[in-house]
């Protein structure tokens, strides 16, 4: 089986850090692949669409040479892309996992907590890479990290910058996205951080209830759940994979 990991708003595949290697080690024989969304990482020179379906179509084009079948795993905005792909173009997709994603099925004050609106707007206006990346880390993580992590994130932005226009277009895409009320015809797993300080975990609970699929919730991690507790996420994904193999 092949796994495809998709990152979130204004992030790139290198922000996964060691997580892909941990996942590959936990499921011998499976292969883990990474792709950037348009406007980020290796695709930073491209313009980002401002709808989730259009972003999904770009990612599908990038993935045309990847081996199938695939399990899609998306974090936040990447989760919306994964859900849209699983629902709209399910060929060659064996399963889908969304981590701390939201959708138009939840009220806007759950999709972005009201006390974070000013913070997000300030990040878009801030021209200091160091200050902005530090604020993103503080907003999305509930753990302490070595200074090398923040240094690496700043280096990533200097090397492959995500433009303010890309971030705005991705925010617009996320704000308007509503997946179908019917679940995809494949195993689905919704993961949520109850202590997420950016997006209310009720968004994930709403989607899991609507689709009647499994919800795995974490008690203390932040929005960037794979960063805060990668071993927990890997364990849940390995369980998901093993259940798929038994069916």
Q: What is the pLDDT of residues 79-107, one digit of tens each?
A: 999 999 999 999 999 999 999 998 777 76
* Neighbouring residues of 223: CB distance < 8 A, sequence distance ≥ 6: 76, 100, 139, 140, 141, 193, 196, 197, 198, 199
CA 180 to chain centre: 19
What is residue 105's predicted lDDT score, i.e. its pLDDT? 72
Q: For residue 118, what pLDDT band results from cuts at 50, 70 and 90?
A: low
pLDDT(38) > 80: yes
pLDDT(117) > 70: no
CA 185 to chain centre: 21
CB-based contact 43:72 (threshold 8 Å): no
Q: Which residue has the higher pLDDT, 147 or 126?
A: 147
pLDDT(166) > 80: yes
Q: What is the pTM of this model?
A: 0.95
What is residue 127's predicted lDDT score, i.e. its pLDDT? 78
3-state secondary structure at position 198: coil
What is residue 109's predicted lDDT score, i.e. its pLDDT? 62
pLDDT(122) > 80: no
Whole-angstrom distance, CA of residue 142 vs CA of residue 236: 20
């Amino acid at each position: 089986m092949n796994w495809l990991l998709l990152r979130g708003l204004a992030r790139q595949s290198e922000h996964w850090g060691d997580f892909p290697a941990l996942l590959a080690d936990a499921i011998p024989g499976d292969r883990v692949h990474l792709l950037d969304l348009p406007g980020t990482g290796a695709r930073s020179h491209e313009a980002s669409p401002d709808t989730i379906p259009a972003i999904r179509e770009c990612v599908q084009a990038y993935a045309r040479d990847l081996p199938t079948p695939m399990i899609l795993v998306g974090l936040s905005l990447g989760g919306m892309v994964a859900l849209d792909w699983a629902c709209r173009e399910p060929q060659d997709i064996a399963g889908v996992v969304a981590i701390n994603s939201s959708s138009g099925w939840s009220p806007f004050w759950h999709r972005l907590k009201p006390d974070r609106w000013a913070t997000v707007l300030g990040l878009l206006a801030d021209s200091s890479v160091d200050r902005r990346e530090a604020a993103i880390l503080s907003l999305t993580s509930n753990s302490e990290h070595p200074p090398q992590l923040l240094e690496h994130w700043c280096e990533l932005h200097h090397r492959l910058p995500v433009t303010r226009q890309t971030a705005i277009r991705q925010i617009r895409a996320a704000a308007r996205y509503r997946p179908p009320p019917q679940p995809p015809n494949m195993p689905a797993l919704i993961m949520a951080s109850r202590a997420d300080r950016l997006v209310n975990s009720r968004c994930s609970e709403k989607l899991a209830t609507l689709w009647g699929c499994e919800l795995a919730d974490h008690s203390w991690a932040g929005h960037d759940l794979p960063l805060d507790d990668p071993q927990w996420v890997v364990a849940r994904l390995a369980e998901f994979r093993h259940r798929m193999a038994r069916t």
